[in-house]
Amino acid sequence: MDLLKNKIKAEGVVLSETVLKVDSFLNHQVDPELMVEIGKEFAQRFKDQGITKVLTIESSGIAPGVMTALQLEVPLVFARKKKSLTLSEGILSSKVYSFTKKEENTISISHKYIQNDDRVLLIDDFLANGQAALGLIDLVKQAGAEVAGIGIVIEKAFQDGGKLVRETGYRVESLAEIQSLENGQVQFKQEEAKV
């Protein structure tokens, strides 16, 4: 998706060979026009999958998730990272390790929002080590529902997550695949290395 790649090139900040900061448009401040286009792109890619729900994790997945759900005309459900007093019955939970934050979170959803007849599209902002996507897959399986596909805004193709998640057999669509963050430069998977 060229619009997204151009935004990453213009505003993304490479903090290390494994960390890309995109907080000016995706995971702190949100560019709503870009999110609308991301939603349209995911909806187009998964339009024939009979999706009944979109599932993401708070908080960075909510913006692309809600725009995708809007385009597909289905509800968005987001897994919570913190316990809620109002989320107390019929809880489905999964453990997810964050390599960026170096901590384990228990993500949870209410079973009443994902039922066994749902076909669920998973949406997340990043795919790096794959733990968030695997946690979301686990929640859908616990609900007895079906994963219809996985949409990722930015994939760090140089890390193992993409391979791990694809080995589950589910269709994974990434809008921007980063091959490298070496030398402070973002290089997308389709680009050739500049000499």
CB-CB contact of 139 with 94 (8 Å): yes
Beta bridge partners of 173: 151
State both tokens at 133.
């996507």
Strands 146-156 and 172-180: parallel
CB-CB contact of 166 with 149 (8 Å): no
| Domain 34-176: which CATH number of 3.40.50.920, 3.40.50.460, 2.70.70.10, 3.40.50.2020 | 3.40.50.2020
CB-CB contact of 150 with 172 (8 Å): yes
Coil, strand or helix: which one is 174?
Answer: strand
Report the pLDDT averaged over residues 31-38.
Answer: 98
pTM of the model: 0.93
- The pLDDT of residue 167: 97
Using only the alpha carbons of the chain, give its radius of gyration.
16
Q: Domain spans of the chain?
A: 34-176
- Report d(CA 94, CA 124) in Å as an integer: 16
Which pLDDT tens digit goes with each residue over 53-86?
Answer: 999 999 899 999 999 999 999 999 999 987 766 6
Tallying the residues shown for the chain, one arrives at 195
Which pLDDT tens digit goes with each residue over 115-137?
Answer: 999 999 999 999 999 999 999 99
Cα distances from 180 to residues 71, 177, 187, 188, in angstroms, run 31, 9, 5, 7
53 contact partners, CB below 8 Å, separation of at least 6: 69, 74, 75, 76, 77, 113, 114, 118, 119, 120, 121, 145
CB-CB contact of 180 with 16 (8 Å): no
